[in-house]
Chains A and B, each alone.
Chain A
Amino acid sequence: AQSVTQPDIHITVSEGASLELRCNYSYGATPYLFWYVQSPGQGLQLLLKYFSGDTLVQGIKGFEAEFKRSQSSFNLRKPSVHWSDAAEYFCAVDGSNDYKLSFGAGTTVTVRA
């Protein structure tokens, strides 16, 4: 079975500082990996995804993520956080190529001025 762990429930970061959100997955083979962002009361927006190829994936809004097979990780990063990045971030895995996603518990990001 596939599963995702996001170790950090809540992260507070200063505006302009860098951000890294951790994601570890459990799956036998190389899964499809996703990062979604959810603003309060809003739906899920896809930030980026990894299927294969280059392990450093660029996404929208200046986010990137790196797939590390040896660590079973897919951490999300942003060099300089903006106040509008305050939201909840979900890492998700799909091991069967059918969009039956398993989500992590989410990490809430608070941005302070």
Chain B
Amino acid sequence: AAGVIQSPRHLIKEKRETATLKCYPIPRHDTVYWYQQGPGQDPQFLISFYEKMQSDKGSIPDRFSAQQFSDYHSELNMSSLELGDSALYFCASSLGGRYNTEAFFGQGTRLTVV
């Protein structure tokens, strides 16, 4: 069965550079969530989208922005990268924005800022 696809799997950037992470949800899923998991930390909710509109916002820095496109894939744009942005970024998707189905997580993008 198709799963949530995240690309790239690994990304190395220098401080002050920008990065774009992509998330392709499970087909027919219309809701996407982004989480950030720092080294040795638990995942922290960043932002979510339902039907291409932002549905909720968590601890996402102002340097980050995200959107969901017409094909429901989502991109997380990160600018002025800092060393502390090094983390595993998870995307999850679900259908309906509520518990019609569970949310499935991708394998994550590991971002390293040097």
| Chain A contact residues, CB within 8 Å of chain B | 32, 36, 42-46, 49, 51, 90, 97-106
A99-B33, A103-B43, A106-B42 given as contacts; is B98 within 8 A of A44 (CB)?
no
Closest CB in chain B relative to A37 CB, distance in Å: 11
Q: Interface digits, B95-111 against A, CB 8 Å rule (1 contact, 0 not)?
A: 00111001111111000
Closest CB in chain A relative to B29 CB, distance in Å: 12
On whether the beta carbons of A97 and B99 are closer than 8 Å, the reply is: yes
B14 within 8 A of A: no
A3 to B102 Cα, complex, angstroms: 20
Closest CB in chain B relative to A100 CB, distance in Å: 5
Contact of B56 among A36, A49, A100, A103 (CB under 8 A): A100
A78 to B56 Cα, complex, angstroms: 35
B48 within 8 A of A: yes
On whether the beta carbons of A42 and B99 are closer than 8 Å, the reply is: no
User: Which partner residue on chain B sits nearest A108 by CB separation?
Assistant: B40
On whether the beta carbons of B42 and A105 are closer than 8 Å, the reply is: yes
- Give the chain A neighbours of B103 by CB distance below 8 A: 99
* Interface residue SS majority, chain A: loop
A99 to B46 Cα, complex, angstroms: 12
A100 to B46 Cα, complex, angstroms: 9
Can you list the 8 inter-chain pairs with the closest CB atoms, starting with the nearest?
A: A103-B42, A43-B107, A44-B105, A43-B105, A99-B103, A103-B43, A100-B45, A105-B42
A5 to B44 Cα, complex, angstroms: 14
Closest CB in chain B relative to A1 CB, distance in Å: 12
With most chain A CB atoms within 10 A of its CB, the pick from B43, B98, B106 is B43
On whether the beta carbons of A45 and B105 are closer than 8 Å, the reply is: yes
- Give the chain A neighbours of B94 by CB distance below 8 A: 99
B55 within 8 A of A: yes
Closest CB in chain A relative to B31 CB, distance in Å: 8
